[in-house]
Structure 1
């Protein structure tokens, strides 16, 4: 099978395109013919070695996939050959990834693709959708009528948070940098969009939420906890899912007198049961149109290195703008 892989962790150009043995589904697994993969920041961190993990060699990166079940291993009864599926959680913790024509995937990490939803949409919304759901439902316990502030509401995770928060009945304020990203956040469904390149962000948020925000979701590599706690409502919850190397100051007094909570989580450490609960809602919201993953750029498998380079430019080097997800078309 054709695949994009690396022999050792390295830069985007270390990705090779070539033939690897087609895997066989083991017990509890499905062999999936991959049609679309998606690129996430974590894919580039693992491929480059920035996040150290035990990797098979050669290693195929990629968390997300959509495709068709080709065969099932022993013990699999929920899925059958011919079923369209989507999933995430690949390319991590010793598992091979999804930048390949066929992937052997534990059935626990696969979900049925709604009939009217294209594979590109399902793949683009996989990791970011599960991440958004875990943060909003399991961690923040967002309630209808509450106000949430999404810092970076046009990005992959940010736009998913905006859409899922609206589906859960919340009022959404989103920040974005520049008119194009502001338009993308507005298109995702944000009730109020703050363009931090054109206005003072803290002042605009205070005007939009004079009593404070109930949930503050921060996607920045350098979260500002002084700002977040200062703008939170009493018993506000602050969610962090980025900023691996950040060491922000915490305003302890305001934090405990407001009875705030600071929440951090990692999507791929969630159990299969937790991720399936998220996926069930995502499938329903995909089918209803309440969740519409935004695709920013599309590449072929042969262009996988370019796709990884673009993701790095946007999230690591900050030299490229990206409003939405990068997908890689693997097969038909």
Structure 2
């Protein structure tokens, strides 16, 4: 099969190669375990990883980790070469014993390296859910990671409450748009921090007020959008210099929820304690497997209710062909996209 693989470090247009490789099989996985960077050779005394499906991929999601991994700036090092791609929708063609009931079913799954989703056949792990009949392949491929990460950041870790004012960075991106919707669903007043009028309009369509961070004092703009008052929460999938600047708009006792690193990881100003600010980490990758499984099932149930009630929707804005992957990732890296971008792999 042909798959988009990364061999070197650099930008997507330079490092992504369409390689001819063998399809992953159950035999390949027998000698593999699971570590923070993904699939790893089995260590002595460690059982094989046993929560997987092999899926025929129809549509895969594209996201910033595809870019930061190939650049080498992803927080977790990933061994090369690897097939890129973090999530997909497809039909299960093989599975570990505990997942055999999914054979022949259409699922959305997280796919991690080296068996990523930018290939006709990929390996889904742990976070695997059947796609509702009324959800398209495209929406399914752009739903799982943004929605689950956003729910973890907004509800479980950020504890956003009705009546609070919340600033959201990167609000027009795939994760940011999910965060905006869940804050609105919680009854919060949302101020989307984005660059440019088009992205502001996109976020207003999700129920947020919006400001343009490309000019002027961003913290002052946030206060102005909140009737001159600071916000109680910042939900921040960007971090970098932008995240640090926004803390001037955070009220005493406020929470700064860190749930991504699109702007890079920078040291935090140690004076945050002077204002009784709380820095809240929000990532799903560090829990023990049993706890992570419980969290994802709880999250999926809550999100299913919001979907059914029309209070949340996937925000897929663009579907590209398999040969357009590097161009789409370049657009994503240069902040020219909104919502979620997906790629049709087959079918």
Shorter-chain TM-score bucket reads 0.7 to 0.9
> Residue 224 of structure 1 contacts residue 248 of structure 1 at CA under 8 Å; is this kept in 2?
no
Deviation at 1:199, TM superposition (A): 6.4
Counterpart of 2:66 in structure 1 is 43
Aligned pairs (5 A) from 1:1-332: 1-12=1-12, 13-25=14-26, 27-51=50-74, 53-55=77-79, 57=81, 59-76=82-99, 79-88=101-110, 90-92=111-113, 95-106=114-125, 108-190=126-208, 192-197=209-214, 200-209=217-226, 210-224=228-242, 227-240=245-258, 241-242=260-261, 243-247=263-267, 249-250=269-270, 252=271, 255-270=272-287, 271-314=292-335, 321-332=336-347
Are the aligned partners of 2:167 and 2:234 in contact in 1 as well (CA < 8 Å)?
Answer: yes
Answer yes or no: is the 8 Å Cα contact 2:6–2:80 preserved in 1.
Answer: no
Classify 1:123/1:286 alpha carbon distance in 2 versus 1 (closer, same or farther; 3 Å).
Answer: farther
**Alpha-carbon shift at residue 160 of structure 1 (Å):** 1.0
Alignment coverage as a number of residue pairs:
316
Aligned counterparts of 2:120 and 2:92: Cα–Cα separation in 1: 12
Q: Please, which runs of 5 or more residues in structure 2 have no aligned partner?
A: 30-49
Q: Is the 8 A contact 1:225 1:248 kept in 2?
A: no
Q: Distance in 2 between matches of 1:100 and 1:148?
A: 38
Distance 1:195 1:14 in 2: 33
Higher relative CO (Cα under 8 Å, sequence separation at least 6) belongs to 1
TM-score, normalised with respect to structure 1: 0.84
Q: How far apart in 1 are the matches of 2:25 and 2:311? A: 36
Partner of residue 317, structure 1: none
Question: Equivalents in 1 of 2:242, 2:15: separation in Å?
Answer: 35
SS at match of 2:99: coil
Contact 2:69 2:78 in 1 (8 A): no
Which sits farther off after the overlay, 239-248 or 42-51? Answer: 239-248
2:145 is paired with a residue whose SS is helix
- SS, match of residue 110 in structure 1: strand
- Cα deviation code 1:92-124 (max 9, x no counterpart): 4xx421101111223x22112122111111211
Q: TM-score, normalised by structure 2?
A: 0.81
Mean CA deviation greater in 122-131 or 280-289: 280-289
Q: The residue matched to 1:180 in structure 2 has which SS?
A: helix
The RMSD of aligned alpha carbons is 2.5
Cα distance in 2, alignment partners of residues 184 and 281 from structure 1: 25
Partner Cα separation in structure 2 for residue 187 and residue 199 of structure 1? 24
